[in-house]
Chains A and B, each alone.
Chain A
């Protein structure tokens, strides 16, 4: 539930999604429930908001994927506790937004839906997973370029796609995540977007995404199936993906639907390690 938060909206006054972002921020800050950080004033008079930003969890409301508010938060070294993007919320709910700047029926209903989600009590039941199934410690091979070390687990139960994501498969379950190549390319990960529990994901579909000041990158799922758990700790500590994306930085757990077929387009440690080394050599991290 968003209460006692600092709320940082985008300032897209010339776009419908920006106007919605501002409206939601205003509604959340009515009364004394939350405090707004004005993105414009924050740039010129930082001190005005330093105390709120330091003492309260932060909700960032981006209007569109240009991510002005997220980038401002990253620039000011603020940790995002929650984040929404209005255009994404509209897309998920199949609501089309107006080209103009006035809030009409569609925009107002989207605002109400988003607000009720933000103000509802967090229901975290059934989001945990059977932790006993998976190990959290592996033997690694590593490849070094300059000061950067890229690790890769040698465990035979790890499968990779050429999109730098992994699946750790035990029986009909898999944990999925990104490799060191992704986390190092992104640098400090500031936010984690989990997939929805219960969502059906195709092979190569999106199983959540991670965001740094540089970019948002989706986890391109190596396997198909149903999301049965997410790594909740990442919601508060996305930096665990930087520390080790294979152990405490795993992203989701998937109940496999057709692993035999998925396997046709997956590779093991030996092949992916060669691919990763080549990418590291070509890429300026």
Chain B
């Protein structure tokens, strides 16, 4: 399901994933139900019951899970920084190619 590249750049080189604020998260698991890419994992028997298990499955620039989050506990990296970084990597790749 996950993409291995985004705009030709290896997904692993792009820092884009949800960050859970555990002081706000109430473990309603709406984000888990919503995300078709299996970014999150539920750990029912542990103190921290929700983790970002597969950050590279997260679709770059998608923030849709945060729209399902009642307590507003999900945040994402700065998109302008991410855009800049992707452009830089693409330039490097062109230089090397």
Interface set of A (CB-CB < 8 Å, partner B): 15, 64-66, 87, 91, 161-163, 202-206, 209, 215-218, 220, 264-265, 267, 282-283
Contact = CB atoms under 8 A, between A and B. Distances in A.
A168 B62 CA distance: 21
A162 B60 contact: yes
Interface string B43-82: 0000000000000000111111011111110000001101
Contacts of B7: 162, 265, 267
Contact of B64 (A162, A205, A215, A283): A215
Given A66-B68, A265-B7, A163 B59 contact: yes
Contacts of B82: 204
B22 interface: no
A66 B70 contact: yes
A196 B67 CA distance: 18
B15 to A, nearest CB: 14
A107 to B, nearest CB: 16
Interface residues of B, number: 28
Contacts of A215: 34, 64, 67-68
A15 B70 CA distance: 10
A66 B30 contact: yes
B13 interface: no
Contacts, number: 61
B59 to A, nearest CB: 7
3 smallest A-B Cβ distances: which pairs? A66-B70, A64-B70, A216-B67
Contacts of A203: 83
Contacts of B32: none
A202 B79 contact: yes
A228 B87 CA distance: 27
A272 to B, nearest CB: 12
Contacts of B87: 264-265
A76 to B, nearest CB: 21
A32 B30 CA distance: 37
Given A65-B70, A216-B64, A217-B64, 6 more contacts: A162-B60, A204-B79, A215-B64, A215-B68, A218-B64, A264-B87
B34 A162 contact: no
B34 to A, nearest CB: 6
A267 B5 CA distance: 14
B46 to A, nearest CB: 24
16 contacts: A65-B66, A65-B68, A65-B70, A65-B72, A66-B28, A162-B59, A163-B59, A203-B83, A204-B82, A209-B67, A215-B67, A216-B64, A216-B67, A217-B67, A220-B62, A264-B87
B31 to A, nearest CB: 10
Contacts of B79: 202, 204-205
A218 B76 CA distance: 14
